[in-house]
Amino acid sequence: MSDERKAYPSDLKDGEWALLEALIPVPKPGGRPVKYTRRELVNGILYVVRAGNSWRMLPHDLPPWESVYGYFRRWCKEGVWREVHRILREQERVELGRDPCPSAGAVDSQSVKTTEKGGDAAGTVTSM
């Protein structure tokens, strides 16, 4: 987090950033100078993801939405988020004393009450 701004609830804590820092790609050598730290870019991404707002609604004290969104898209295309998820999941499973890779999965569906007739409450079937 930048020293100039107040932290948002979605900002990474120091321990969280310590886990992520090695998993986020470093700037490529020879390119344009870096304007924003990787941590601030991730904080911008997390703000949008956790708040559920649009990219263009990022607060002015985070990097510009175009930069944050650009890195988010690039890292999506490069599989960075998939790899981050895999590594963090495996670390968590090891800490819990489990095999790092799950051997099976279970899908649970919740029962939803409906009318006995199977249509809407008036008993008619609606079509689109």
- Which ranges in 2-128 belong to alpha helices (H)? 14-20, 38-51, 65-77, 80-95
pTM exceeds 0.85 for this model: no
Contact yes or no for 87/81 (Cβ under 8 A): no
The predicted pLDDT at position 28 comes to 83
Residue whose C-alpha is closest to residue 63's, from 80, 45, 78, 77: 45
Quick: pLDDT tens for 24-74: 999 888 888 889 999 999 999 999 999 999 999 999 999 999 999 999 999
Structural contact between residues 112 and 118, judged by C-beta atoms closer than 8 angstroms:
no
pLDDT of residue 82: 95
pLDDT tens by residue, 68-122: 999 999 999 999 999 999 999 988 888 778 777 877 677 777 766 666 665 565 6
Give the separation between CA 4 and CA 25, rounded to whole angstroms. 25
